[in-house]
Structure 1
Amino acid sequence: MSKVIQQGLRVLDVEAQAILALKERLGAEFEQVVKIITTSKGKLILTGMGKSGQIARKLASTFSSTGTPAVFLHPAESSHGDLGVIENDDVVMALSYGGESPEFAGILRFVARKGIPLVAITGNMNSSLAKAAQVTLNVHVSEEACPLGLAPTASSTATLAFGDAVAMAVMAEKGFSSEDFAEFHPGGSLGYRLLTRVKDVMHSGDALPTVGLEAPVREVFSIMTHKDVRGAAGVVDEKGDLVGVITDGQIRRRLEKSTDPLTGVAKDLMTTNPRTIDANELAEKALFVMEQFQINMLFVLDKDSANARKPVGILHVQDLLRAKLR
């Protein structure tokens, strides 16, 4: 094994151990931090210098995208007017491994004077920051992954991991859902998948292939080949309720077995109790149902309508692929 690979493995081992060591520190302080943030009526202010500042920026983004409005405040800029971003209902989370960054002085005095909750994440429980905070999370590491023992590596990884743990616990406590997440990420592929409903991609109106129970087989053939979605027809009763479905597979089998395939009516061909999906369901769920039951299309119902069994659309797997759900 080369020295380069050995060095890489050593770094990963050191940082992995730093994270695993945090599990023993998940206790009352962690729960208290989560409660302070969850019950706050304001936003979360994250602050830090250097590498800790970079982690703070990332955590601010994570909190904001998971239901907790958060912003990053640069400690050095805070004493030049930026303290104005902190409001009385806010919570301040300060990140500093050593806990003695002089740039924090203005922030610490400000939050103390205003009675604003201060949470600290530090590796030095005897530091000025730890002593000023209402609650402190300990991210002390036994060693840095840096060969010189100088560059913040394991310590910054531990800080990020503990911050993420807080963010995810707050998210769970607030009941933040995948739909909420999608609302905050409309530009991404995940957001698109979680926002797209069946009704957004289904075929409806004149494009909906339906026939009555007594429709001649010849008419069924015509419907199945001339509508936008080919290869299927829904069979409806006199009330307009969906009672069956005819697919191109059934047509092929009829052509193989019958000497006169054009005789008969729709009810002779149909499969009863077809699988359906509600118009307001996520399109992602429709794709899951198709994959689970190995089918290519679903008839769409509207359970909130006056006639919940009347088909309002049809959805083909190709519609979902075109919508880039996969």
Structure 2
Amino acid sequence: MKKTVQELAVLLGGTVIGNGDAVIEDVKGLAEAGQQDITFAVDPYTEYLPQVHAGAVIVEKEVPAGDNTLVIVENPRLAFSQLLVLFHPRQSITPGIHPTAIVDSSAAVGEDVAIMPYAVIGKNVEIGKGSTIYPYVFLGDNVKIGEGSVIYPGAVIHENCVLGKRAVIRAHAVIGGEGFGFATEKGKHTRIPQIGNVTIGDDVEIGACTCLDNATLGSTKVGRGTKIDNLVHLGHNVEIGEDCFLIAQTGIAGSTKAGNHVIFAGQTGCTGHITIGDNAVFAGKTGITGNIKGNQVYAGFPARPHMEWSRTQVYLKHLPEMARTVKALQKKIAELEKKLEQQ
């Protein structure tokens, strides 16, 4: 595919500063881009633009850029993602049910659905139009899949779970596996049946090998637009709000409720039965042990406001020096006390 910079700018709703007639053949990263490529840059990387020799660079505002043509847009990352789709469209999928797929006769399969080899579709399953079910997917009885969804190879959606429109479930994710609930008596553990389900809103993405446990009663919930990375675990009856980010290796224990626009950075751990306010942000490896107010950034274990945690880290860095100082002061005090006793 070949497009001029001006054509791409029109597509992105941007403004060209430089040579709008330059021809673009591909999209590449800032370090790799050449004269036939378009790339993007955001602060602080815009300071390196004079060293870049791309066909065009997407930026948020006019900056010193050497010999590069600029395309000014409101959101460079979003614009770049649009061009990735344009220049590298996903493989087209032919609708239909492969002969090796097992589809129960009671299942309702919408128009233009693709069900690939060895997928298993249970009783009373509903699959919305335009969805794609990749090989070796298992959909348990009574599962509902919204239109335009994509379920990648090896994913398991257990019985009674409900996925909204345009859901993306990556390879080997498990939705609705039985929650971890036990009653202990005299040191022996007896499983408590988990009879609830998982409900997922529209435009949710679930990463590879992520596990969302079903509820003991009711539903484990993920709100519209939330994006969950690979290797994340949600316990039974967890409720995650809309437009949240959950990054790799985050674990949230049962019955915790998080508001909208919450960000859990990698390896964040969260105890159960607590509430987290809207717009809370947790730095990597934060340990959440109690209720959290929204609209703040948190870090450390236990979680505390980021600035407070940062000050603590500065003090920790100086602890060895402080310890030596304290020991020296103790020694001097002891010497002074000894002299006073001798007087």
Higher helix share: 1
TM-score (norm 2): 0.21
Structure with more relative contact order (C-alpha pairs < 8 Å, separation 6 or more): 1
TM-score (norm 1): 0.21
Q: Which protein has the larger Cα radius of gyration, Structure 1 or Structure 2?
A: 1
